[in-house]
Amino acid sequence: MHPFSYTRVSDTREALNAGRHGGRYIAGGTTLVDLMRETIERPEALVDISGLPLDEVSVTECGGLRIGALVTTAEAAAHPKVRTLYPVISQALELSASAQLRNMATIGGNIMQRTRCTYFRDVTADCNKREPGSGCAAREGFNRTHAILGTSEHCVSTHPSDVAVAFAALEATVHLLGPDGRRQIPFADFLLRPGSTPQREHALERGELITAVEIPAHPRPLRSG
């Protein structure tokens, strides 16, 4: 692991300030710490946002649901409103990881996970996502669980989140807070297709913070079958 500094922030202003100077946000740490141990992620500064007040699930004026970025995946899955209004979210979350991880991992962190492509996680392999221009070892290598749709010649990896699929299907919106204020983007535009820049995975600008994921009201029935 490479050396890094660690700061715990207590309000969003402080967080954004640290983020603007290149700090990487960390909450549950279940994905970032793994990647740091493998030296795939090498942040100079970690900004612990787990104390920020972004941990509530609330019903919106339009009858949708707003899940704070720091709600743990266990809490989100078990929340009565999530269970009754959007069972697909509960089901997707409960298929993910293990109970211990779900108790730590947050909704914001879940959608910021990086691919499980074995070559991305092997620092000796060629990977355009980890090291742009080095090539893609997966295209001719082991790619049984890789993407079929939305790929490019530079990258065939998939996003590892189960609940991301549910968010996309439910036409969720990601709420962001940055140095220039708040903005919202459709979930489908939040995660980027690899194209010729597979190292760019999401639409976050430097220092921007995910504050919540909002799911619009959906008419019942909720099952496709």
Residues that bind other proteins (CB under 8 A): 98, 116, 118-119, 121-122, 137, 140-142
Residue for token digits 């941990």?
A: 55
Residue type, 185: I
Q: Give the nearer residue to other proteins in terms of CB position, either 6 or 142.
A: 142
* Cβ–Cβ under 8 Å, residues 48 and 5: no
Give the phi and the psi of residue 25 in degrees, each rounded to 5: -75, 140
Q: How far is the CB of 102 from other proteins (least distance, A)?
A: 13
Q: Which is nearer to other proteins, 134 or 184 (CB)?
A: 134
C-beta of 44: minimal distance to other proteins in Å? Answer: 26
- Closer by beta carbon to other proteins, 150 or else 160: 160
Task: Give min distance, CB of 48 to other proteins, in A.
Answer: 24
What own/partner pairs with CB < 8 Å and gap ≥ 24 does 22-29 have?
22/206, 23/47, 25/49, 25/108, 25/209, 26/50, 27/69, 27/70, 27/106, 27/108, 27/109, 28/72, 28/104, 28/105, 28/106, 28/109, 29/104, 29/109
Query: Which CB atom, from 31 or from 106, has the smaller least distance to other proteins?
Result: 31
Nearer Cβ to other proteins (14/122) = 122
Nearer to other proteins, 119 or 187 (CB): 119
How many other CB atoms are found less than 10 A from the CB of residue 144? 4
Q: How many CB atoms lie within 10 A of CB 4?
A: 15
CB of residue 73 vs other proteins: minimum separation in angstroms?
Answer: 16
**Rounded Cα–Cα distance for residues 28 and 222 (Å):** 30
Helical H runs in the chain?
A: 12-20, 32-37, 73-78, 80-85, 87-94, 99-104, 107-111, 163-169, 187-190
CB 141, min distance to other proteins, A: 5
The nearest distance, CB 34 to other proteins, in angstroms, is: 8
